[in-house]
């Protein structure tokens, strides 16, 4: 795994349906001002020209030769081969466009393109919450360490990425971790994104007060209503975030069962974590009532919320003990508490994506 502190320069891009934001990174940090350009998402020729112009300008601003271009695109694509397919917010690419080959021809540099959720998770695994957790465990004297992580992004959409033992897990079609298509036990007729993203907060609030949806109220407005800094129905606002948190908790519980790693949440909704996280944790700590037993915990592992100090104290505690090996004088160390944690991003989704893009390029070059 490459160190995030590296003198090599990598060009990166935050690609959205409205704007492209270009920058250059070394030592894990941006070294140029952001270059913003209209994406021209409706016109392929204009869009490709915009990409070329943006990267050329960043090279000039950086004042030194980059070693690679590495960036995220939203939505499904053939990422290993750099072919962008049908994207709702970038319609110019419909039908398949070999963007990697186009940019490599223009700049004579290796180009790496990944899903934004994947790079978010990668950044958190390399320079975000995962090293923070392992550092605190070491300082606490605990032998426990974590190597697997799921990064979730909450906003207008619901995305994810998986990192396993320091490597991105992208699947055979480069479409692993499409959590937005998960089913959910609270609304089985819609996909998870519909009841976890910003529109969940908006729709539930509208339902609670009997107004039409969609409307002009944004999640921030509903948060302010819940916090009594804006006029409105406080209980309806609290319910909107509570219901969204419950659905999010269901998705996270399913992820915990097969990834068995840390979950970190980033994106636009995280400013309201105090409103939705209690419902998330209630779901993660809930029980089943199967026919062959009275009660069964939903998860094998104990789950801790690292945004809460009391949970942090319990999570980072060293539970290991020495147990005897029968028939000998030897002992082995045993930690009897399987545990996982959910946390809100400390560095933010945008920085994590940039860091992920940067280190991904360096790792590929070093291979």
pLDDT in tens, 291-312: 998 899 999 999 999 999 999 9
Structure tokens at 223: 């948060």
Domains of the chain: 10-114 (3.30.420.40), 129-346 (3.30.420.40)
- Whole-number percent of the chain with pLDDT over 90: 82
Task: Please check whether residue 96 is in contact with residue 135, taking contact to mean a CB–CB distance below 8 angstroms.
Answer: no
Interatomic CA distance for residues 174 and 154, integer angstroms? 21
* H helix runs in 210-306, sequence order: 219-226, 234-259, 273-284
pLDDT confidence tier of residue 181, bands split at 50, 70 and 90: very high
Position 2 scores a pLDDT of 52
Structure tokens at 38: 């209209």
Q: Is the pLDDT higher at 1 or at 183?
A: 183
Position 1 scores a pLDDT of 46
Q: What pTM was estimated for this model as a whole? A: 0.92
- Sequence-distant (6+) residues with CB within 8 A of 217 are 202, 205, 206
Average pLDDT in the 136-164 region?
94
pLDDT in tens, 11-57: 999 887 778 889 999 998 899 999 999 988 889 999 999 999 999 99
Structure tokens at 90: 């970038």
Interatomic CA distance for residues 121 and 251, integer angstroms? 16
Interatomic CA distance for residues 269 and 25, integer angstroms? 27
Average pLDDT in the 122-128 region?
94
Give 7's Cβ-side CA count (13 Å radius).
Answer: 1
Task: Please check whether residue 131 is in contact with residue 147, taking contact to mean a CB–CB distance below 8 angstroms.
Answer: no
Is the per-residue pLDDT at 265 higher than 60?
A: yes
Position 3 scores a pLDDT of 60
Which residues on neighbouring strands pair with residue 154, listed in sequence order? 158
């Amino acid at each position: 795994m490459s160190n995030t502190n590296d003198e090599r320069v990598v060009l990166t891009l935050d690609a959205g349906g409205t704007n492209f934001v270009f920058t250059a990174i070394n030592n894990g940090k941006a070294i140029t001002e952001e270059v913003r350009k209209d994406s021209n998402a409706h016109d392929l020729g204009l869009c490709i020209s915009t990409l070329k112009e943006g990267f050329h300008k960043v090279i000039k601003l950086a004042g030194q030769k980059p070693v690679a271009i590495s960036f995220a695109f939203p939505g499904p694509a053939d990422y290993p081969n750099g072919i962008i397919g049908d994207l709702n917010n970038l319609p110019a690419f419909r039908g398949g466009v070999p963007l990697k080959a186009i940019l490599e021809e223009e700049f004579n540099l290796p180009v790496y393109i990944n899903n934004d959720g994947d790079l978010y998770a990668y950044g958190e695994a390399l320079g975000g919450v995962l090293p923070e957790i392992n550092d605190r465990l070491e300082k606490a004297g605990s032998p426990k360490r974590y190597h697997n992580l799921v990064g979730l992004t909450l906003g207008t959409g619901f995305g994810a990425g998986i990192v396993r033992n320091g490597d991105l897990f992208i699947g055979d079609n480069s479409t692993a971790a499409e959590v937005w298509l998960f089913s959910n036990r609270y609304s089985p007729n819609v996909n998870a994104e519909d009841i976890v993203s910003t529109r969940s907060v908006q729709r539930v609030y509208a339902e609670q007060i009997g107004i039409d949806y969609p409307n002009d109220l944004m999640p921030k407005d509903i948060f302010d209503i819940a916090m009594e800094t804006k006029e409105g129905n406080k209980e309806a606002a609290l319910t909107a975030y509570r219901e969204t948190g419950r659905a999010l908790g269901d998705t996270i519980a399913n992820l915990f069962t097969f990834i068995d790693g840390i979950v970190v949440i980033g994106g636009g909704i995280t400013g309201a974590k105090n409103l939705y996280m209690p419902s998330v944790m209630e779901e993660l700590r809930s029980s089943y009532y199967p026919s062959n037993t009275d009660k069964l915990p939903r998860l094998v592992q104990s789950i801790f919320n690292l945004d809460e100090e009391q949970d942090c104290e319990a999570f980072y505690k060293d539970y290991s003990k020495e147990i005897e090996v029968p028939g000998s004088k030897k002992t082995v160390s045993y930690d009897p508490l399987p545990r996982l944690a959910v946390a809100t991003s400390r560095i933010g989704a945008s920085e994590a994506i940039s860091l992920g893009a940067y280190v991904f390029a360096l790792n590929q070059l070093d291979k």
